[in-house]
Structure 1
Amino acid sequence: MNVKIYQIFYDEVTRGRLDPGFIPLDNRDPQVKGWYEFWPILNFLNNQKLDEGDWYGFLSPKFESKIGLRSEDLVELIEQNSSRADVLLLSPEWDQISYFINVFEQGELCHPGLTSLSQNFLDSAGIEIKLDRAVMDCSNSVFSNYIIAKKDYWERWREYANLFFEYVNLRSEYNKEVGGIFYSTYPMKAFIQERLASIVLTKTAFSTINVDQSEWGPVNTFLFEDSQETRKLLRECNELKSQYRRTGDGLYLSQYWDVRSKVNIKDLAFLSNKQ
């Protein structure tokens, strides 16, 4: 088993931030613009043969600052868990994954219109999932493409990503810069592509492990109060969604909505007006 983790850089500044334990992946002159991490990952997968049993990852220059792990920590974590999982999830937004029913509801808050555009693509591609009903938790959701996985996962991701790339190139609405609470200078396609991983993990039963950040990881204080009570309620939300996904028992989903209603989330309309 080998661990092959690439770290993407865009210029000499970001190259200087790379962890020397990762493999540099040059994206200084991308063949297509506006895709950010998506393009170098897809380009690599379309042109390289992956080895069975090996782990692959493609991380941004901000990885350590967001997660707090260096390359040696990550390799050790993978080696400890390689025999019991196919996918390692390292999403920095554990709080939002826990609170929202899925990453598309969260995306709709931040970038209005994201859900319908995502659903249009899925319907066109024949990927049967209804985003207004999909339940996602920390075991099948990730942001920022912070995912390390074996060959089977990346082959499925590549399949979806190629379909999305071709679909978007024909439709201008995916390429326009979008507004939202947190970002306003990126095209919608950039925010949809980072959610493809969660689609893959929802549609295919990969065995996953994730780094539990609920005790120490950051809470987004634009949305939530960073308190022990908030963390407790968010952990409960995530666990109830997980129980629902495992059992299909609607009681867990009802309990999730009840617990979620107790989370003190800030006035989102006010936040939107401040942009």
Structure 2
Amino acid sequence: MITIYEPIYRPEQVLSEKSFIAYPHTSNDKFKKWREFRLHIEVYRAKLYENNKLTGIFSPKFGLKTHLSGEEFIAYCQSASDADVVFVNPFPQMRYRSYNIWMQAESNHPGITNCAQNLLTAAGIDIDIEKQPRHDHKTLAYSSFWVGSPTFWEQYVGGLLEKLAVFIEHNENHPAVVNALVETFHTDPTPFLPFITERLFTTYLSLHPELKVSSISLDPLDFCLMEAERKFVQSIIPEIDRADQLGSFSPELVHRMEEHCDALAQAARVHFRDTPHPHTGRTIT
């Protein structure tokens, strides 16, 4: 069985996807800043994944961000019968904007890479962010729209996210924890922490090529949020696709991607000061 939970935050809230299962989530100010990270920890600790073939917990904005229905996603999962994990990346254009998920992270949330590394190191998690390879469509995922097998939940959530959660819970005043809870630029006030943990999914996949991973392919041009972004992505698609096919990115190309990633992040800050963001309907101040 493929089970996808959807968090219900308010009594009047209704499921956005009829094929998902309501997951009542009582607000707890202590963990409010954790966002989806906390949901994965709760599902793991309650062992809600144990009796399912694949399990996930998706934001109510799943349809808005992916342009897919829950039924379509589940149907795809059923076709990927031997997968350990299945995901959809609602920002497919990002693989043309940045070499990997951490390059984009640093452009959009300056300081996050150092913050993430300090937190991982303090928690005793052996991941070197600077050594992360190229992230392409086979591993790249923004947002937490993934479902995993019981083994994947034990290995990824239990072996990595739970270890991080326990460290944070027991070391609230540690500098690495305090810094991870500092707010960064986003459509809503949000600290570094959920952006760090969201990116650990892609990071983990890139470190474990033995996993059977399946992802839904989306057209990158259909998901660009600004015309400037669309023009850049359209212009560079052939070059990036060629580099991915060859498995070789020149230092010059990586540097150029970083420059454009920084420029587009700055352009987005300016653009959405006056233009409502499509995922919230609000401007970003």
CA pair 234-89 structure 1, distance change in 2 beyond 3 A: farther
- 2:25 is matched with 27
Counterpart amino acid of 1:213? L
Offset, 1:122: 2.8
Can you list the C-alpha shifts for 1:38-58, whole angstroms capped at 9, x where unaligned? 212211111216347701111
Contact 2:95 2:136 survives alignment (8 Å)? yes
Further displaced range: 190-199 or 260-269: 260-269
Task: Please tell me the root mean square deviation across aligned C-alpha atoms, in Å.
Answer: 3.0
Q: 2: distance between equivalents of 1:123 and 1:57? A: 27
Contact in 1 for aligned 2:99/2:257 (Cα 8 Å): no
Q: Give the number of the structure with larger relative contact order, counting CA–CA contacts within 8 Å between residues 6 or more apart.
A: 2
The Cα of 1:32 is off from its aligned counterpart by: 2.4
CA 1:100–1:44 in 2, change beyond 3 Å: closer, same or farther? Answer: same
Whole-Å Cα distance in 1 between the matches of residues 151 and 242 of structure 2? 27
Residue 226 (structure 2) pairs with residue 226 (structure 1): no
CA, structure 1 residues 61+214, in 2 after alignment: closer, same or farther (shift >3 Å)? Answer: same
Deviations 1:244-268 (A, max 9, x none): 3xxxxxxx12188279559966465
- The equivalent residue for 2:250 is 254
Is 1:213 aligned to residue 211 of structure 2?
A: no
* Residue 12 to residue 198, structure 1, CA distance change in 2 (3 Å): same
Judged with a 3 Å threshold, the aligned counterparts in structure 2 of structure 1 residues 174 and 261 are, in CA distance, closer, same or farther, namely closer
Residue of structure 2 aligned with 1:177, choices 153, 178, 183: 183
The match for 2:108 is 110
CA contact (8 A) 1:97 1:138 kept: yes
- 2:86 maps to 88
Measure the CA separation in 1 of the matches of 2:121 and 2:258.
Answer: 34
1:200 to partner: Cα distance: 1.6
Residue aligning to 2:279: none
Larger CA deviation: 61-70 vs 233-242: 233-242
Q: Give unmatched runs, 5+ long, in structure 1.
A: 245-251
User: How many residues get paired?
Assistant: 261
Native 8 Å contact 2:183 2:191 kept in 1: yes
Structure-1 separation of matches of 2:71 and 2:10:
24
| Partners of 2:116 and 2:180 within 8 A in 1 | no
Per the normalisation by structure 2, the TM-score is 0.79
Match of 2:74 in 1: 75
Q: Secondary structure at the match of 1:76?
A: helix
Name the % identity: 20
Tell me, in whole angstroms, the C-alpha distance in 1 between the residues paired with 2:222 and 2:269: 25
After TM superposition, give the deviation of residue 101 of structure 1 in Å.
1.7
Aligned to 1:249: none
Would you say the 8 A contact 1:55–1:150 is kept in 2?
A: yes
Alignment of 1:93-242 (within 5 A): 93-135=91-133, 136-158=135-157, 159-169=159-169, 170=171, 171-178=177-184, 180=185, 182-183=186-187, 185-205=189-209, 206-214=211-219, 217-221=222-226, 224-227=228-231, 230-231=233-234, 233-234=236-237, 236-237=239-240, 240-241=243-244
2:15–2:22: 8 Å Cα contact kept in structure 1? no
C-alpha separation in 2, matches of 1:203 and 1:173:
26
> What TM-score, normalized to structure 1?
0.81
SS in 2 for 1:88: strand
